[in-house]
Structure 1
Amino acid sequence: MRKLTSALWLSTCLVLPVFADEQKPANPIIKMATTTSTQDSGLLTQILPNFQKKTGYEVQVTAVGTGKALKLGENGDVDVVLVHARADEDKFVAAGFGDQRYSVMYNDFIFVGPEEDPAKVKATKTTTDALKQIAATQSPFVSRGDDSGTHKMEKKLWDQAGVKPAGEWYREAGQGMGEVLQMSGELKAYTLTDRGTWLATMDKSPLKIVLEGDKTLLNPYGIIAVSQKRYPDTNHAGAQALIDWMISAEGQQAISDFKINGQSLFTPSADPAEVKPATEPAKTN
């Protein structure tokens, strides 16, 4: 396994095991930056070994907020990004940092909070009404506060509600989704979470779902190879191989098959027009 020199990679990299036995691609290491939700939910740990066994590539994953993941791509520190903030993904590609955005999957955001529901969020029907209720009652709310896709969505929802959250009741954690859910449970606070991470952690939480199903809470994920034109040393072949697998019938089925307590955490959403015909990836000694 190639030794990593960057302090960032040494401190945050999740290295998934390699299962290919004999041959590997000429450049077998793929560096991927992604969101904490794909790690905290357990999705990547479940599905990536299938890709690695089939292709001989080794995927090294750094899980951070979407903003930080895209910044790693902008700096040429990774080969591919898997994130969930469509407007920022489009800007990333338009600015020439990435080649093309591919749809991979989606789930949705939900609001969770204490069972007592002091803000009476369960009685509301829209995110706007829910957030107005939380602010009006100054009920504790924990924000990711980390420029992640979830944090970006939260800020957008506050704006739509016409509320600028501030004060002791509103806390910015600067942490990943798993940590924020734990903190919210301890503080009996409300928070916004992706459904995948919630399903993976709900058995350990005293919180309950208080609002779901609003059409504004859809949470799509996209995957983008970092531009080889801008960064010639990027492992573009590996990044594209991973993308092709993720949006293939095999990859999409692996995403669909990932379940907790019988519930799928993500729904595949690849565009059939972007999927290449199934072929065996070429390998070299």
Structure 2
Amino acid sequence: MLKRVMFKRTGVLLAALALAAPCFAAPPVLRLSTTTSTENSGLLAHLLPAFEARYGVTVHVLAVGSGKALALARNGDVDVVLVHARAAEDAFVAAGHGVGRRDVMYNDFVLVGPASDPAGVKGGRDLLAALRKIAARGVKFVSRGDDSGTDLMEKSYWKAIGTRPPAGRYLSAGLGMGEVLNMAAELGAYTIADRATYSSYGARTGLAVMVEGDARMFNPYGIIAVNPARHKHVNHAAARRLIDWLTSPEGRQTIAGFRRDGRQLFFPPAPP
């Protein structure tokens, strides 16, 4: 049975533990920290029941930004981590905190904003040019501000153009993607979102896609087992099973089969 635990603003680990009836042995537990996009989009609810049924494992999901997900893994608070922050993932493995990283899937980021488009950026395919306009004009931008994969990518874009909106128009929320989309809608602001979460929340917010298709907006996801040499208590066997299953033909097909309104939201990489 899939268990979900959402983190908001704090670094305190909250784990929902299933208690078995006295006459039955509890199924093995696999603790997965992951980015909020995999939870908010509905992907995990689509993927994990099949894995749990096949291997008799109960997955406890801790959905946070990628930075916090990696910190949980680094501390040995989870067994496996699924995130979208490639540079941070590589550093995590290089430091000996994780082993066996594999590419799982990819999608893309989108720049979204109010349908009225006060910055005049809608329809372009050059993200940096659009951000320059947003920075120069009297419009607001909401940042995740939570050290997530989306937050890290967004900040790299501002760094690339050497500017960003001034204080008062650049709002650092410290919130998950769904909450940031709602906040941007309320303020008539722009933001950058992963496409899967936007597809889940967009109709409710009224925000429209402004810029898409820029190669800079490519968004890959990787999965990494926590190094059992660092944390001997982790369930490394179950972590390896999940990694192997997600990258197997069955797992890849299950990822590709997840759709919203008929549209595929995550794409497994080409087979090796």
Alpha carbons of 1:62 and 1:242: their partners in 2 closer, same or farther (altered >3 Å)?
A: same
Q: Does the residue aligned with 1:267 lie in a helix, a strand or coil?
A: coil
2:71 is aligned to 71
Structure 1 runs of 4+ with >6 Å offset: 22-25
> What is the CA–CA distance in structure 1 between the aligned matches of 2:137 and 2:30, rounded to whole Å?
48
Residues 135/65 of structure 1: CA separation in 2 closer, same or farther (3 Å cut):
same
Does residue 8 in structure 1 map to residue 25 in structure 2?
no
d(CA) in 2 for partners of 1:213 and 1:137?
Answer: 23
C-alpha distance 242-24 of structure 1, shift in aligned 2 (>3 A): farther
**Contact 2:134 / 2:165 at 8 angstroms: preserved in 1?**
no
Q: Which residue of 2 aligns with 1:120?
A: 120
In the alignment, which residue of structure 1 is the partner of 2:149? 149
CA deviation vs aligned residue, 1:224-264 (integer Å, no higher than 9, x gap)? 00000111111000100111111111111111000000001
Task: Tell me the SS of whatever aligns to 2:13.
Answer: helix
| TM-score of the two chains, using structure 1 as the length reference | 0.86
1: distance between equivalents of 2:270 and 2:247? Answer: 5
Q: 1:140 corresponds to which residue?
A: 140
| Equivalent-residue separation in structure 2 for 1:55 and 1:270 (angstroms) | 25
Match of 2:227 in 1: 227
Please give the residue correspondences for 1:100-119 in structure 2 after superposition, counting only pairs within 5 Å. 100-119=100-119
TM score, norm. by length of structure 2: 0.91
Cα distance in 2 between the residues matched to 1:98 and 1:200: 31
Unaligned runs of 5+ in 1: 17-21, 273-285
- Displacement of 1:203 in angstroms is 1.7
- Once residues 271 and 152 of structure 2 are traced to their aligned partners in structure 1, the CA distance between those partners, rounded to angstroms, is 25
Partner of residue 253, structure 2: 253
Q: Which amino acid aligns with 1:9?
A: L
Q: Which residue of structure 2 aligns with residue 129 of structure 1?
A: 129
- Preserved contact between residue 106 and residue 221 of structure 2 (Cα < 8 Å): yes
**Where does residue 217 of structure 1 map in the other structure?**
217
Deviations along 1:56-92, whole A, 9 cap, x unmatched? Answer: 0111000000000000011111000000010100000
Unaligned runs of 5+ in 2: 2-10, 19-23
Shift of the alpha carbon at 1:47? 1.1
CA contact (8 A) 1:102 1:270 kept: no
Structure 1 residue 125, shift from structure 2 partner: 3.3
Q: Contact 1:103 / 1:270 at 8 angstroms: preserved in 2?
A: no
- Rate the CA distance shift 1:184–1:30 in 2: closer, same or farther, 3 A: same
Give the Cα–Cα distance (whole angstroms) in 1 for the partners of residues 224 and 211 of structure 2.
31
> Percent of aligned pairs with the same residue?
52
Matched, 1:169 2:174: no
